[in-house]
Structure 1
Amino acid sequence: MQYRKFRADKLFDGYTLRKTDDTLIVDARGKVIDIVAAADAGDDVETFSGILSPGFINCHCHLELSHLKNIIPPHTGLVDFLCSVVTKRGFEQELIKEEIRKAEQEMFENGIVAVGDIGNTADTAAVKRNSKIRWHNFVEVLGFTDEKAVSNVQQYTRVAEQLKADHRTSLVPHAPYSISPRTFQLINEATANQIISIHNQETAAEDELYKTGQGDFLRLFNLFGFTGSPFPVTGKSSIRSYLPYFNNGQTVFLIHNSFMPEEDIIWANAYAAANGLQLVYCFCINANLYIENKVPAVTLFQQQHCNVVLGTDSYSSNWQLSITKEIQALLQHTTVTKEQALQMATLNGAKAMQWQNDLGSFEKNKQPGIVLIKHDFGSSKRLL
């Protein structure tokens, strides 16, 4: 059996950022054999400057929006951003497919080994079929009214059928401001014990919508022909209004959480524990900066012992698709440590996506990929 041996200034094994000269030994395909002291590693050790890490888990991306790179300006706020996405999706199919291909290759080269990917269409199917990245397709349902709930869910179920032959696939709600009560109920029924996601409390207007029926989202609804909010006024925050629709053993990824107060974190965790749900909090720091120019209060989630993971979001709302750059932004804007950030980017994500048997850490017989990270987290590259 042929072996490859890797050593760098530091080695992160999925749990701990080691400050020793430990050497990672893998077979020719990248399956982990062992981590040994330098004195026991023998010859032919490949030595690098930087940090060695298992491959990254990108828990939230919209690969199909890659053609919107540099199209929507930053710092518009969420509602104007959404209006731009709705009105600027009319591109040639060949261009869309080429930008999807380039984005997938970028993620692979910078060390992303698995992705939880949002899609409203099957545009990404061809690229994913030949990809070396592992994918979970979140087919995102939009449905503003109960009257069209059944037909909308059927439409997105057909999209899921086109994607699920090659990769794990589930229906998911887009966001609290785009899903009617009956649509939530149908998604709950269709996703028992599955992994799903929803964009959560990404702007203050989201809570205002449910508490009063007013606010900035009315401009978005006008684009779809509504003169007011199509959703019931509950007098509660958005998460307290929609999370009770779910009670079917799901793992629910809450995406962004930029405007989620501590009392809602406490409430959501208690509801999940009482109703058999698993909550995962996914942060996409650069997308939050791109759209609202606001960073979630990550330490609040850590204090409440939340399961925290990282995502890139899409090229419509980010300057790059790099988990390394997400770590860099996290370190710059929060008090999260390097070790904690690396855990979020690797083993936390692998566990949340239920890929921990293969990915996320340098443990014997796993094949998690090997990434070299610059010390300042300015860039990374896949070694194996």
Structure 2
Amino acid sequence: MNTHILIPRWIIPIEPQATVLTEHALVLEGQKIKALLPVSQALQQYPDAERRHLPQHALLPGLINLHAHSAMTLLRGYADDLALMTWLNDHIWPAEGKFVSDEFVFDGTQLAIAEMIAGGTTCANDMYFHHGAVARAALGSEFRMMVGCSILEFPTPYASNADEYTRKAIACMDEYKGESLVGFTLAPHAPYTVSDATFSNIVMLADQLNVGIHCHIHETQDEIATSLKDYGVRPLERLARLGLLSNQLIAAHMVHTTTEEIGLLAKYGVNISHNPASNLKLASGLARIAEQVAGGINVGIGTDGAASNNKLDMFAEMRLAALLAKGQSGNPEALPAWQALEMATLNGARALGWQDRIGSLVAGKEADMIAVDLSQVGTQPCYDPVSHLVYAADRNQVSHVWIAGREVYTQGHHASLDHQEVLTRARRWQARMQG
């Protein structure tokens, strides 16, 4: 097994919390991190290892996009500057009904993966249709993906009702069982598109299959008003009664939460995916992130889909999350840089149940990691690399990316996918949709 020694300017392991290591090396052996050691000790213990010097770089865990609709990159800019339900009902759902297919999802997911890898994201928690196409795109690109199997009550070209969506989800999980880079969740779309009976069935299946649940919850005030009208309670209370709240649940958005609801989420160990750019663009509102984090909730960061963001840029999301938390709370100490970085890495891994595998640079974990070149003018001088990664660095400063120990991206070159072919297929879809 080949051993490599990486010698960056800084190592930011995430664990221990708020740690920055200098004069240290990371020893990489196969897919896993072998050790983090002082440089002299690493060279002495592994004299035959291949050495890689990264003299102006920070080495840190790969970023984890906790809420994405990857294939929707092919709908980037398709319908902008609209309210969520208008955007969905009048534009996105009709376009999906006409164009979404196995080929569409494969091509769109690979386009998303190419963008995410180049921007330092090594893992995404997805939610869409044609789950096998998502899994194939991830495996073909050597990208780590949690495939969310969408479940709704109404028909789409993919399935006719909730039972068929569920059957297809289980079949896909069986087909890709044992793949180390791919996992699955059951992904009921939202409280306003899923019935009580279906939610109850999903809770039972998730327990039987030992998989997580991924759902849009409390994204807009309209969602809450509709729930109060139809069910007499807010969505979160309805889901609590149905047994959905647990540490297996990733609640995407959670923009509108009361103090009591924050306590309820913490009590059940629910994970939140905070998607600041999408929440702002769709005017969904400002999530009470500082209070949610202070309340003990595990909060990660997501981009949502490129159709509502419009980019899959976790550096931009980290910065926005930190700034919004300060602005909304009136506390400049809310969500400091180290905490935003933890949200984008280890917290995402915890939400996925993969915290023992990824999310921090710790001996024994799989080597999902990135190197960021901080020598550019916009990140000089550098007094604190963690501060720069959150507040100053750009995703274009990602120079190297490793997933499960394999270097999949180096100085603008993808080793795991054909960048030009990905672009060619995306342009074909644009022509088809505009035709």
Q: TM-score, normalised by structure 1?
A: 0.83
Quick one: structure 1 residues 48 and 332, their matched pair in 2 at CA, closer, same or farther if it must change by over 3 Å? Answer: farther
Which secondary structure does the structure 2 equivalent of 1:88 belong to? helix
Deviations 1:259-302 (A, max 9, x none): 122221113434x2xxxxx4111111111122116331111101
The partner residue of 1:127 within 117, 137, 149 is 137
Amino acid at match of 2:288: A
In the alignment, what sits opposite 2:111?
Answer: 102
Matched, 1:383 2:401: yes
Asked whether 1:154 is paired with 2:164, we answer yes
Does residue 266 of structure 1 match 2:257?
A: no
Are the structure 2 counterparts of residues 174 and 27 from structure 1 closer, same or farther at C-alpha, using a change threshold of 3 Å?
Answer: same
> What's the offset of the Cα at 1:87?
2.0
Cα shift at 1:20? 4.4
Q: Contact 1:325–1:378 (CA<8 Å) still a contact in 2?
A: yes
CA distance 1:53–1:286, change in 2 (3 Å): same
**Equivalent runs, 1:1-384 vs 2, <5 Å:** 2-9=3-10, 11-27=12-28, 29=30, 31-38=32-39, 40=41, 42=43, 44=51, 46-74=53-81, 76-83=82-89, 84-89=91-96, 90-91=98-99, 97-122=106-131, 123-143=133-153, 151-162=161-172, 164-166=174-176, 167-192=182-207, 193-211=210-228, 213=229, 232-234=230-232, 236-246=233-243, 251-270=248-267, 272=268, 278-292=269-283, 294-334=285-325, 335-373=334-372, 374=374, 375=388, 376-379=392-395, 380-381=397-398, 382-384=400-402
Q: Separation in 2 of the partners of 1:8 and 1:17? A: 16
> Would you say the 8 A contact 2:67–2:302 is kept in 1?
yes
Shift of 1:117: 1.0
Distance 2:23 2:298 in 1: 29
Letter of the 2:225 partner, please give it: E
Give the residue type in structure 2 aligned to 1:203.
T
CA 1:103–1:39 in 2, change beyond 3 Å: closer, same or farther?
same
Partner of 2:256: helix, strand, or coil? coil
CA distance in 1, matches of 2:246, 2:260: 23
Question: 2:115 is matched by which residue type in structure 1?
Answer: E
Contact 1:288-1:294 within 8 A present in 2 as well: yes
Deviation at 1:178, TM superposition (A): 0.6
Q: Name the aligned partner's letter for residue 73 of structure 1.
A: D
TM-score (norm 2): 0.74
Whole-angstrom distance in 1 between the partners of 2:93 and 2:160: 22
Would you say the 8 A contact 1:160–1:169 is kept in 2?
A: no
Say which SS state the counterpart of residue 225 (structure 2) adopts.
helix
* 8 A Cα contact 2:125 2:145, kept in partner: yes
Shift of 1:357: 2.4
Contact 1:150 1:183 in 2 (8 A): no
Flag as ranges the 4+ runs of structure 1 deviating above 4 A. 38-45, 92-96, 247-250
How far apart, in 2, do the equivalents of 1:29 and 1:322 lie?
A: 28
The 1:165–1:324 alpha-carbon spacing in structure 2 relative to 1, beyond 3 Å, is farther
The equivalent residue for 2:413 is none
Q: Percent identity?
A: 21
Deviations for 1:79-138, whole angstroms, at most 9, x for unmatched residues? Answer: 122222212223375555433222112212322222211112334243133131222221
Structure 1 stretches lacking a partner, 5+ long: 214-231, 273-277
Aligned Cα root-mean-square deviation (Å): 2.7
- Kindly indicate whether the alpha-carbon contact (under 8 Å) linking 1:21 and 1:38 is maintained by their aligned counterparts in 2: no
CA distance in 2, matches of 1:248, 1:331: 26
State the alpha-carbon separation in 2 of the partners of residues 98 and 161 from structure 1: 22
Rounded Cα–Cα distance in structure 2 between residues aligned with 1:314 and 1:320: 8
1:119 is paired with a residue whose SS is coil
**Structure 1 contact 53–371 (Cα < 8 Å) conserved:** yes
Give the number of equivalent residue pairs. Answer: 354
Going by fraction, where is helix more abundant, 1 or 2? 2
Q: Look up the equivalent residue of 1:106 and give its one-letter code.
A: E
Shift of 1:30: 5.6
Contact preservation (8 Å) 1:265, 1:304: yes
Query: Are the counterparts in 1 of residues 301 and 344 from structure 2 also a CA contact under 8 Å?
Result: yes
- Please, which moves more after superposition, 51-60 or 87-96? 87-96
Shift in alpha-carbon separation, 1:113–1:174, aligned structure 2, 3 A: same
Question: Is the alpha carbon distance of 1:2 and 1:136 closer, same or farther for their aligned partners in structure 2, counting shifts above 3 Å?
Answer: closer
3-state SS of 1:294 partner: coil
Q: How big is each residue's C-alpha offset from its partner over 1:220-254, in whole Å with a ceiling of 9 and x where there is no partner?
A: xxxxxxxxxxxx331x2111122321269661111
> Match of 1:223?
none
